[in-house]
Amino acid sequence: MAHVELNKVASVYSGQDGSCCCGCSGKHTYASQYRDWSSKDRGYEVKENEVSDRSVKTLVNKMNKLFEDGVEKEDGDDPSNLVSVVNGNRLYIAYLNH
């Protein structure tokens, strides 16, 4: 069973399944402790309005609940970089600090 450790999550994404994950069909949110790292990783500054520890925690808890309920993580995930799961028409991704 998959499990996402909150303290390792740099950012999360919630968006429409089947669409790209650039942010046009969903939203990326960043953990405050990894804001500087995330800015360097993506190549430009993570702004204050993109940071929410509460939103990151909420989405990680939602993902872990889905895993507990037997929903499988998406195939092809590299567990050192990200974990993703689909629920209905929503795609949830936890990007891990590496």
**Cβ atoms of 4 and 13 closer than 8 Å:** no
Ranges of each domain in the chain: 6-96
| 74-90 residue pLDDT tens | 877 677 899 999 999 99
For residue 33, give the amino acid letter. Answer: Q
Summarize pLDDT for 4-58 with one digit per residue, the tens. Answer: 999 999 999 999 999 988 888 999 999 999 999 999 999 999 999 999 999 999 9
Which residues have a Cβ under 8 Å from the Cβ of 80 and sit 6 or more positions away?
96, 98
DSSP for 33-79, please give it. Answer: GGHHHHHHHHTSPPPGGGB-HHHHHHHHHHHHHHHHTTPPPPTT--T
* Amino acid occupying residue 62: K
Query: What pLDDT is attached to residue 79?
Result: 72
- What is residue 58's three-state secondary structure? helix
Residue 98's pLDDT is 72
